[in-house]
Chains A and B, each alone.
Chain A
């Protein structure tokens, strides 16, 4: 028995060593990104690559923020992510509540259509969305990004929250109906407060999806003043003599809000319940 326990202890330490080694390998790209962001331009492709910069500098961050209009790109990203998330979460909650708690003509058809459209790859929609945005004058505008990002997140939000609303006890709603609560007050006063955890999670995911979105932004935006962070960062990269320090300083600035959210709300990120939603 003692021998077995010791063997188990050894296995545990081997697993620990393997897990740490694997974690270090996973971290290497991040480590080099961070150290390069603090290196002067002359040292970004030095051999051997140094993890601790020889002459660390904040110049890249200063330059990224000041000379490159980065504040504007950051603001554009904030506007687009906040506005599209607000729309996708509000409308998604309303849809989900109606689908989960009420029966009405067309319910199955509408929900089926929603699911079907959700499963179609985004690229299929891209061309007609481009044409539609062009006809409505929404091409090359932040409003065009907001509408498309809100739509992009609406399907999944509705799908996930429908499960949340659907699992709530019927008695609560019956009691409220006896007290004269209508559809809207049941939604607002009972459904929404009870679904708070689910709403927080879809808010987080919608925000991140909008914050990171690249394809629609690069197709629809031509005015540099309207760039969001992902395409602004890419535009720093040049075919020849890329200023990698600048690119990675900008990347870290864009990553900072995501990391803050991640550390603060890690349960939502890595919980099994919504595990399907974060796959980019």
Chain B
């Protein structure tokens, strides 16, 4: 990535007024209503939560080096996996791409000055922070040991840990998701630039739109469920505890009614990022635009109909199990459509292996593995064997880390020059992408084998014959941990010392690349008029920087 010719003359970052230098001081950040600044606020907060959650994962993997457990008491181990799950799911994965890249890019990609409700946008960040504070308080006040699923009646009647503060934190943070989703839906419907019809939108926008629908429809259900859980715990009224007349299966239905669609909240935005990366670095129009667009909506809709596949062995009726199994197979179709279309886009493309593209290619492989192993779990008979083992842990980490986090990092590397106006060292970035890919596979592939051999998840000890695979997994986790620290270092470094990026360092298509980097506060000097389809690289005159 050397700086060279641009369509727009290059101006040193410091001398032009942009959203970063328009105002200075802590107050100008904490009271901002600029979607770009709010995106940066989110970026900082979720990065912090990512490393807190990652810290617990490191402790867990250290502990599992020895069959009898090397580090902590079993009770503490229960708290480690719970807090890792709660923080990573609710405070990192769910907000990751929508709240950072989504906040930054939605108005830029559709040619708007801001989101429809800028103050609401800031409010949603504050709600997130308050929720995170409650959960961090729970961590400090002794932790919580219910698992991130808060299954009743253990969570409501038996656990002696900080269930209420944790659940309250998740409850509060939910409203931040709802408001973000609401803002996106209204903005995408009502504020597209002239000429930007629905089928000219970047596919990232379609993915964010589908995600927002899940935010709006799913999140309130988990909110009310956690509230009922808190009520039962505080007042000892039977809602979910069978000993006092409640129904624990009802809790699981309500919990997964949100939490399964939430899996798609985590992966759909990543799929949106993928469509942008694959086209840009293949220099090709996306293959099957409308298929990818509609598959996002299909995933959002079907995601609400498959929650029962988490409950094949927890007492729901066998007929419900059959139907949920079939529906779960259905959701694989739109996911596979996307993978095929990305692959077809690569075919005969002029591919370049920049850091974002390395993450994108990693995503295709890892997501495919995660998705296919999901079919094992959607099948009733194999699920009985694999349920509750490390196979499940490996499966969802291939989707959540191999998929969502890879896409998130790919997206951050792709739009970093736009966000900060600086370039990062390309060599280091490619190196980090490879380290993460290797570390990830070494961590989680052995877990597939462990699970298939029958090692149950969520236990602090294991039979001695599993030690080799566990040590491999722990070694992989340390490589993965280092892999995540490298970008933290060079990206932070680049904010001060990186060379100026120019408006379009990748020679990419899309409205966000037509405005300077970093963009001015009002995004565009003049609202653009769109006259071409998305990803029109065939007729592109834009060259790479």
* A and B interact: no
CB within 8 Å of A: which residues of B?
none
CB within 8 Å of B: which residues of A?
none
